[in-house]
Chain A
Amino acid sequence: MNLRRASWLFMLVATVALLVVGVVRESGPLTQQDRIDAIAQRLACPTCSGESIYVSRASAAEALRAEIARQVAAGQRTDDEIIAYVEARFGGQVLLVPRATGLDALVWALPVAVLVAALAALTAAFVRWRRRDASLLSDDDRAIVAQALANNDD
């Protein structure tokens, strides 16, 4: 039983460790094309429905990709600054990834808050059920179980 628990614990620790390493590790220097593609994947095509400018062949998407390429080649703006430049002209609807500030932050915070609340409620419910189950046994019940176990040993 202890060995089983230990192996589950080991798997949990290993999974968390791999996830953490995957998220925080340095991915190495990006090429200019990598940067252009990464930015293009974060922006919606203004004339299409639900497509990023990375996949869209619309002329507006092509013009935006060309602008991103120009700005990346100029090397004067970060990825976030280039996205802010596009947002300042086309509006917030071109952002495929919602901002983590202001009201938009609710999109990120609410699911986490609901998950935490649900886990807390489940934990509280399990604890209560366990207590109630334990309290359902009377002394007579316990005596019967003890008697049965004793008979079984014989």
Chain B
Amino acid sequence: MKRRRVAPIVSALVGVVMAGLLVILITADPPQNADTFSPLLGQPAPAVVSTTLDDDAFDLARRKGSWVVLNFFNSTCVPCINEHDELLAFHAAQQNESEPAEMYTIINDDNDDAVREFFEKNDGEWDKVRDHDGAIAVSFGVARVPETWLIDPNGVVRTRIAGELTTGLLDEQLADLRRQFGS
């Protein structure tokens, strides 16, 4: 008699636990897109204070007032080399804008001479910023290059693109953001 009472209670308890876990599974947030998500989106950009390859001081906070594009780069990384033409086209197109976005290469785990040689050979008339010990990469949560980030004129992080840029992607993203948040 006693056994008959225990079995339904145990079954009911197991059923309730399973149902609870199922509810948690269904209602949990869907996984974020690893190529575009970052906890920094919508947050103020981390402080970036360093020097450029020309030994000028660089402070991201002083760039407020215009859109900023940060491209994390290494001269030996194949996707970085592949997307270079896309960056050149984007930079050239920006020069025709009334308020062009400012573009910076963040040198990731690379030496100055190799980066200089790459840009002398492949063009790219924008500043290249040194990243000592990978401090800038860590502050943005960049683990692999290339990565491209868009920061709005108020210094808020708006977009992260992990991996190689596809044709026109950066122009489209910036145009969308300008419509949403102004230029």
Contact = CB atoms under 8 A, between A and B. Distances in A.
Most central of A63, A88, A121 by chain B CB within 10 Å:
A63
Contacts of A70: 133, 135
B42 interface: no
Given A89-B39, A89-B40, A46 B134 contact: no
Given A63-B137, A88-B39, A46 B28 contact: no
B135 A63 contact: yes
B24 A66 contact: no
Interface stretch (B48-56, B89-97, B139-147): B139-147
Contacts of B24: 103, 106
B75 to A, nearest CB: 14
A59 B133 contact: no
B78 interface: no
A64 interface: yes
Most central of A47, A64, A86, A124 by chain B CB within 10 Å:
A64
Given A47-B143, A89-B39, A60 B28 contact: no
Nearest to B39: A88
Contact of B135 (A67, A90, A121): A67
Interface residues of A, number: 21
Interface in A79-108: 86-91, 103, 106
A62 interface: yes
Contact of B39 (A62, A66, A91, A103): A91
B109 interface: yes
A128 to B, nearest CB: 8
A60 B147 CA distance: 13
Contacts of A91: 32, 37-39, 141
A67 B37 CA distance: 22
Interface in B25-66: 28, 32, 37-40, 46
Contact of B143 (A60, A121, A128): A60
A89 B135 contact: no
Contacts of B143: 46-47, 60, 90
B138 interface: yes
Contacts of A62: 134
Contact of A63 (B40, B46, B138): B138
A78 B100 CA distance: 42
Contact of A89 (B2, B28, B133, B140): B140
A87 B134 CA distance: 17
A53 to B, nearest CB: 11
10 contacts: A63-B137, A67-B135, A70-B133, A86-B138, A87-B39, A89-B138, A89-B141, A91-B32, A91-B141, A103-B28
Interface of B: 2, 6, 10, 24, 28, 32, 37-40, 46, 108-109, 133-135, 137-141, 143-144
Interface of A: 46-47, 59-60, 62-64, 66-67, 70, 86-91, 103, 106, 121, 124, 128
